[in-house]
Structure 1
């Protein structure tokens, strides 16, 4: 019959893909010495990182444009409210003034004129106060509506960005695998990210005690996190790269 060994094409491809990504997950020792990745994985990692950074820059530009739109929309709504309240104030003040002037024409003496003037001044102050309260209430309602709209839009944008990034990473990993001689169809089944969309928030499926007995095993990881926190990063891609290297 046909002789099959590790050099057979299909088996060799499967072994290549499996070796590239499973070796990439292993650490050289329990103390997490670096580097812990073989050359193929280091190359794949660098290719993915460059692609991630490029996409993140594009997404940041899109995000900046959205925030500019938010600011412009808020300013336009603020001007609209101010204009509406001023128009209403001027119309009501015109009515109040016309009534005052009409009452003055029908006055009988100086005492009545003083009383009318005092009443007009008081009513004008009350009108101004009421219009100020009305303007502030309108502002609060519109701000709340805009905030809810902005939150929904931002949430949709973040979801879109997450899917774009996951799709990019999967496509880039597949591309690197194929470049390293792995069959295209088989490469699609081997990915460091198996998810097609971000996972939903949920509690951990295991207790800490099921994973480790002594927290000292995290000392190296903790120190790495502290070191990264004390340094500066220009992008999320750079931050994640430093935390997971």
Structure 2
């Protein structure tokens, strides 16, 4: 049991827990039985929130230490929100749905409690750029319309920190149904530096367009329903958006899981 516990603890990001959550772990029966293993990890989390640089540097020098301060794509309220597109077959082509939510702009408690506001737009049935006129110093240039056959999701940062930029790990968790069981069917993630000159992050081809937008005739039969639609009537598109802040001590690469 102790060996299994050590394997599991290695994948838990204790610094992503708040100091109160870390303190609550002391009441867990598991902590009482395996105090040395768990309390050591809890102490690392508390050192991170307190800004104890010397202790953090010690952990960073250890193998895999940097990963402890690298956020996972947790669906916690502090970092994520759910975007649902209900009655999906009735959504008109090129129309979008919008979600507005807020998340913490930093992981450590000592850095403050500033939050960033995010605007998420999903275009599940293609993107249509209408014709417009561009005014340049030579005169007026007509830009023709353009249609993109893609499922696009854009994430816009509306409230940057005082530093003027924010590095974040943005994860898109797409729900689906397999064997009548709803689960996270696909995950897309990207590291991005949001700034005043680059406030929008686009994800194109988030879902295969034809697989999501099956013709209505095909969707009449349950066997032909898109696996990316869930709900009682299989007509809801559900997407979790996770925005986890990154710092200089975070790892920019993420190892693959290996099951033994």
Shared fold, TM over 0.5: no
Choose 1 or 2 for highest CA Rg: 1
TM-score by length of 2: 0.19
Structure with more of its chain in helix, by fraction: 1
Which structure is richer in relative contact order (CA contacts within 8 A, separation 6 or more)? 1
